[in-house]
Amino acid sequence: MALKSDNYRPLTVESLPERLGKVDAITTLLGVDTGTWDCKEVGDGNLNLVFIVTSGRGAIIVKQALPYVRLVGDSWPLPLKRAFFEYHALIRQAERAPGMVPEIYHFDEEQAIIAMEFFTPHIILRHKLMAQERVKGLGEALGTFLARTLFLGSDLSMDTAKRKHDVALFVESVELNDITETLIFSDPYFDAERNHHTPGLDPIVARLRADVDLKVEAHHLKAKFANNAETMLHGDFHTGSVMVTENDTKIIDPEFVLYGPMGFDVGMLLGNFWMAYFAQPGHGNNADYQAWILETIARIWNTFVAEFSHLWRTGRTGILYEEALFKDQQLGLEQALGHRLCAIWEDALGFAGVEMIRRTLSLAHIAENDMIEDEVLRAQCEARGLELGRFLVVNRARMGDISQVNDLAQQINKGATS
Ligand code: SR1
Ligand code: MG
């Protein structure tokens, strides 16, 4: 895949007004007088340019892919086509979870630009979690988003031709798939070039890399991730891909979209919440707030189960578990639903575990830990995440319910398990 066309040019705050000032969909929102537009580059993610563009009339987000990984620099090239995949993911998510993702105003494939809705006064959930501020309805919103997007993007719901078309569309996102496969499932388990970790973790890291059970199970999860085109995933569903106010939740940034196993998005999100839980001592001791994080985790999972079950009972229009096949066998359908949910649960715990390990040992870490200046305290918070992560990867088939995992997190947090 070509990385970029010859006409591609990255935007700057100076060039943006002139370049987008001729796009009707944008001038309708901001006005034609580009002299009144104010542009700020606010991208703090790992890959792209992100601008907030405001005028007296309105505000939009302009996201542009760079032909390389921003976090690393131009030594790591990355195709612009990821903007095309993100655009197609956003369209589908908007249909499946209305009102939860940004509306798209304009897409320019050659320039890898998406102009979209600016969520304000929303902030990135990670920052909210570090500020120890609550969000009303957070668990319910995230659980609903997961259930709706995972169910409605799968063979449980979609017309078979459309679903196969989408599998083919997104399978081309080879480079981003490769990032996930490598950074999450392989790099943390050996001394890979791009890895880094807090020095105080050295003995634990050595132990984990020598842990054959862990390595084998992490690789079973990699096989599951690579070989199961079950549904359209967000693909990078961490707390940096969620924007919130005190009572509203939105989801952004699905550029890592791919067809994969349902448990992946669920697990990645839960893993990020557990890491945020362990990182709290680095942001001011607040046992109530930690308890709220665990409650939110339980709400995410319980809402996911309820909404997924509702869709199962009322919206199975795909090729799986057809109504006609189970006519007069409602119990059988409930049995099958239970089996599916158990499989998602087990996978989700495993994926949560590898996410917790990779965000501590591999290339891209999380702000909740990185912002803890005291290295000893940071290592302690990270070590707790590693302990839960390792446990979940290896024991994912033996965990009863979400409260059992939250209880274990609490024990680990008290230092009661080491
Ligand atoms: C090279 S990209 C590193 C990470 O940043 C993205 O947000 C994904 O999580 C990816 O794994
Ligand atoms: Mg992102």
Nearest Cα to Cα of residue 310 among 148, 173, 75: 148
130 alpha carbon – ligand 2 mean position (Å): 18
| CB 117 within 8 Å of CB 103 | yes
User: Sorting pLDDT into bands at 50, 70 and 90, what band is 285?
Assistant: confident
Residues of the chain with CATH 3.30.200.20: 16-117
Q: At what angle do helices 174-185 and 82-96 cross, to 10 degrees?
A: 80
Which atom of ligand 1 approaches the CA of 183 most closely? 11
Nearest Cα to Cα of residue 336 among 309, 306, 303: 309
- Ligand approaching nearest to the C-alpha of 178: 1
Q: At what angle do helices 375-395 and 212-227 cross, to 10 degrees?
A: 70
Residue 416 pLDDT greater than 90, yes or no:
no
Render pLDDT for 213-236 as a digit per residue (tens, 0 to 9): 999 999 999 999 999 999 999 999
Tell me what the pLDDT averaged over the chain comes to: 97
86 alpha carbon – ligand 2 mean position (Å): 10
Report the residue count for the chain. Answer: 418
Residue 139 pLDDT greater than 90, yes or no:
yes
| CB 115 within 8 Å of CB 104 | yes
DSSP label at residue 282: G
76 alpha carbon – ligand 1 mean position (Å): 13
CATH superfamily for domain 16-117 = Phosphorylase Kinase; domain 1 (3.30.200.20)
Structure token digits, residue 364: 């891209």
* Strand ranges of the sheet holding 59-65, from the earlier edge strand across to the other edge: 38-41, 48-54, 59-65, 113-117, 104-108
Q: CA triplet 276, 406, 101: central angle to 5 degrees?
A: 50
Would you state the pLDDT for residue 68? 95
Q: In the predicted model, what is the mean pLDDT of residues 259-278?
A: 98
Nearest CA to ligand 1 atom 6: 46
Q: In the predicted model, what is the mean pLDDT of residues 116-123?
A: 98
Residue 251 pLDDT greater than 90, yes or no:
yes
Nearest CA to ligand 1 atom 4: 364
Would you state the pLDDT for residue 418? 60
- Ligand approaching nearest to the C-alpha of 251: 2
Would you state the pLDDT for residue 327? 87
Would you state the pLDDT for residue 77? 94
CA separation for the pair 292, 288 (Å, rounded): 6
Which atom of ligand 1 approaches the CA of 236 most closely? 9
CA separation for the pair 328, 312 (Å, rounded): 16
Q: At what angle do helices 375-395 and 202-209 cross, to 10 degrees?
A: 20
Nearest CA to ligand 1 atom 9: 236
Q: In the predicted model, what is the mean pLDDT of residues 290-306?
A: 98
Q: In the predicted model, what is the mean pLDDT of residues 52-79?
A: 95
Would you state the pLDDT for residue 295? 98
* Ligand 1 surroundings by CB, under 6 angstroms: 46-47, 69, 71, 179-180, 183, 236, 363-364
Would you state the pLDDT for residue 282? 97
- Ligand approaching nearest to the C-alpha of 63: 2
319 alpha carbon – ligand 1 mean position (Å): 33
Which atom of ligand 1 approaches the CA of 241 most closely? 7
Residues of the chain with CATH 3.90.1200.10: 123-413
71 alpha carbon – ligand 1 mean position (Å): 9
Query: What pTM did the predictor assign?
Result: 0.97
Least confident of 72-76, 255-259, 296-300: 72-76
| CB 230 within 8 Å of CB 319 | no
User: Sorting pLDDT into bands at 50, 70 and 90, what band is 2?
Assistant: low
Render pLDDT for 368-379 as a digit per residue (tens, 0 to 9): 999 999 999 999
Render pLDDT for 8-63 as a digit per residue (tens, 0 to 9): 999 999 999 999 999 999 999 999 999 999 999 999 888 999 999 999 999 999 99
Residue 1 pLDDT greater than 70, yes or no:
no
Q: In the predicted model, what is the mean pLDDT of residues 233-262?
A: 98
- Ligand approaching nearest to the C-alpha of 46: 1
Would you state the pLDDT for residue 46? 87
386 alpha carbon – ligand 1 mean position (Å): 19
Nearest CA to ligand 1 atom 8: 236
Q: Are strands 48-54 and 59-65 parallel, antiparallel or unpaired?
A: antiparallel
Render pLDDT for 161-202 as a digit per residue (tens, 0 to 9): 999 999 999 999 999 999 999 999 999 999 999 999 999 999
Would you state the pLDDT for residue 183? 98
Structure token digits, residue 209: 């890399």
Q: Identify residue 61 by its one-letter amino acid code.
A: I
Which atom of ligand 1 approaches the CA of 238 most closely? 9
CATH topology of domain 123-413: Aminoglycoside 3'-phosphotransferase; Chain: A, domain 2 (3.90.1200)
Nearest Cα to Cα of residue 395 among 195, 265, 214: 214
User: Sorting pLDDT into bands at 50, 70 and 90, what band is 138?
Assistant: very high
Structure token digits, residue 405: 């995992």
57 alpha carbon – ligand 1 mean position (Å): 34
328 alpha carbon – ligand 2 mean position (Å): 45
